[in-house]
Amino acid sequence: MELDAIVTDPAGVEAWRLSDDAVLNLLPELSERMRQLDALRVRLAHEVHERCLNKKVGGASTADWLSGACRLTPGHARKLVAAAHSVRHRPDVADAMTSGTTDVDQVRAITNLLDQIPDLLRGTEPELVEECTRQCTDYLVAAAEHEHAGETTRRAAALRTMLERDQDGPAPDDENPALNEFHVTQMPGGRVRLKGTFDKITGEQFMTAVSSLSKPTPGRNNATGELEPDPRSPAQRRADAVADIVRFYLDSGAAPREGGERPHMTVFVDLRDLENATRNTNATSQNPVTQQSVQSSFLRRGPSWMPWLGPITVATAGTVSCDASITPIVMDEDGNPLDVGHTTRVIPKRIRKALEARDCGCAFPNCGRPTAWTDGHHIHHWSNGGPTALNNLVLLCRHHHTLIHKNDWQVVISTDDGHPWFIPPRWVDPDRQPIPAHNRQRLAFTG
């Protein structure tokens, strides 16, 4: 099918009837035609402006009329009008746009740089400024024919950096750390929104730190040996990476002191609530927390809470408490502290070292995240009398630590080899056959 026939009656095209070659060939041709049509729209918008036609029909400006008449957002309408103005005296750029080899966004990136060249070369002979403008125009127009607008924008930014001669002057905005901003907002539902802008150096460091931690992890949610695609979106992977970086920073002990202590996360939780949350289902039904204690806990602060962001579920507090420093505080029934005991580490350093030597990272099958990114999980929780001993501990990354606390999976330490084995839920394996830890996945369970 010819492109002209498709453009004449696009609604009548039965795409499923087209051959593979036709689909692959038509899409690039159609995209070029759309760029040509967009360039025609820019030229017509310029005529509206030059003839003041918007005033005949009551438009406050060309962009205002264009937005209403063509159902464009005001920003898009302004962009088209600006493109028309920017190419008036730049025939090479205008020709590239008209032919469909460049789009409006590329034109904006190119003309923005060309407009800055006289200032960048202030004090230079006019002939040299003109020659530099011509060379930059030829270079960017030729490059734009083979790349998208984002790459053209970066290419123009690189040229601007090369033309900037005054090294002693103020840094350009994209390299000026004084313009950095970072906002943290607690939303009504309890979540936290982060928003900010950073200079190029800080941004590069941030993206470098996040990149390796945000790669897709095939098989993340299964342990069958089949490496299924990571179900997380790119945004979720980056969020998980940032969470890992923050946890690693707090765990490293390298941060400056605040309030006389190293920065740390504090969670307040009633011990009886914590015991109830970490029991298995059968134990919970046999040893319920009294109604009086639940009401008292909720009336004071909630079942558990944090100084910055307030209440969290007891289940989340149970996950956090697996590998933490515990400070017992005796409270009266009105929530007033009566006595503060000595802070103790739930998992001592010597046992943590032994755990790292045994599990070599997250022990969950097909994971293996480095030990620096893991928590020590009590198989039988310490708040229910579980010992802090090697045969009751396993290293888990935050994702799999949470998964284990949901009781979908179970962990056992084999009496034969002393290593952790993972029992999947029935929806993963109806027979619930134990699976060895990540660093020992070729083994068979011996009980």
For residue 333, pLDDT over 80 is answered with: no
For residue 289, pLDDT over 50 is answered with: no
Angle, helices 104-120 vs 74-86, to 10°: value is: 50
- The answer to whether the CB of 25 falls within 8 A of the CB of 42 is no
Per residue in 228-252, pLDDT (tens digit) is: 777 888 899 899 889 888 877 777 6
For residue 100, pLDDT over 90 is answered with: yes
Q: At 325, give phi and psi (nearest 5°).
A: -95, 130
At 64 the pLDDT is 92
Instruction: Give the mean pLDDT of 154-180.
Output: 79
- The answer to whether the CB of 94 falls within 8 A of the CB of 87 is yes
Beta strands in 129-202 (DSSP E): 181-186, 192-197
Query: Residue 386's pLDDT band (boundaries 50, 70, 90)?
Result: confident
For residue 312, pLDDT over 60 is answered with: yes
Calpha distance 345→392 (Å, rounded):
16
**Beta partners for residue 435, in sequence order:** 422
At 298 the pLDDT is 40
Give the containing element (helix H, strand E) for 412: strand 410-413
At 296 the pLDDT is 39
Instruction: Give the mean pLDDT of 352-370.
Output: 88
Per residue in 40-60, pLDDT (tens digit) is: 999 999 999 999 998 888 888
Q: Has this prediction a pTM greater than 0.85?
A: no
Per residue in 12-34, pLDDT (tens digit) is: 888 888 889 888 988 999 999 99
Q: At 198, give phi and psi (nearest 5°).
A: -135, 160
Q: What percent of the chain is predicted at pLDDT more than 90?
A: 33
At 274 the pLDDT is 62
At 278 the pLDDT is 58
Per residue in 413-437, pLDDT (tens digit) is: 988 888 999 998 888 888 888 888 9
- Tell which residue, 120, 171, 163, has the closest CA to residue 139: 163
pLDDT-wise least confident of 246-250, 283-287, 400-404: 283-287
Domain parsing of the chain, residue ranges: 3-165, 235-261, 268-345, 349-440
Six-digit token string for 137: 């125009």
Six-digit token string for 356: 């790292």
**Beta partners for residue 339, in sequence order:** 330
- Tell which residue, 398, 409, 410, has the closest CA to residue 367: 398
Return the amino acid letter for 161: T
Six-digit token string for 237: 């992977």
**Beta partners for residue 21, in sequence order:** none
At 309 the pLDDT is 67
Six-digit token string for 383: 């708040």
CA angle 326, 275, 411 (to 5 degrees): 90
**Beta partners for residue 375, in sequence order:** 396
> 328 or 355, which is more confident?
355
At 228 the pLDDT is 72
Average pLDDT, the chain: 80
At 299 the pLDDT is 39
For residue 5, pLDDT over 60 is answered with: yes
- The answer to whether the CB of 201 falls within 8 A of the CB of 174 is no
Give the containing element (helix H, strand E) for 127: helix 126-144
Q: At 353, give phi and psi (nearest 5°).
A: -60, -40
Coil, strand or helix: which one is 153? helix
CA angle 375, 377, 383 (to 5 degrees): 125
Other CB atoms within a 10 A radius of the CB of residue 185 amount to 9
- The residue whose two tokens read 């030597």 is 357
Six-digit token string for 121: 């070369």
Query: Residue 297's pLDDT band (boundaries 50, 70, 90)?
Result: very low
> 150 or 3, which is more confident?
150
- The answer to whether the CB of 401 falls within 8 A of the CB of 369 is no
Secondary structure letter of residue 394 according to DSSP:
E
For residue 213, pLDDT over 50 is answered with: yes
Q: Give 339-354 as a DSSP string.
A: EE---EESS-HHHHHH
- Tell which residue, 27, 110, 42, has the closest CA to residue 76: 42
Calpha distance 180→177 (Å, rounded):
5
pLDDT-wise least confident of 181-190, 317-326, 345-354: 317-326
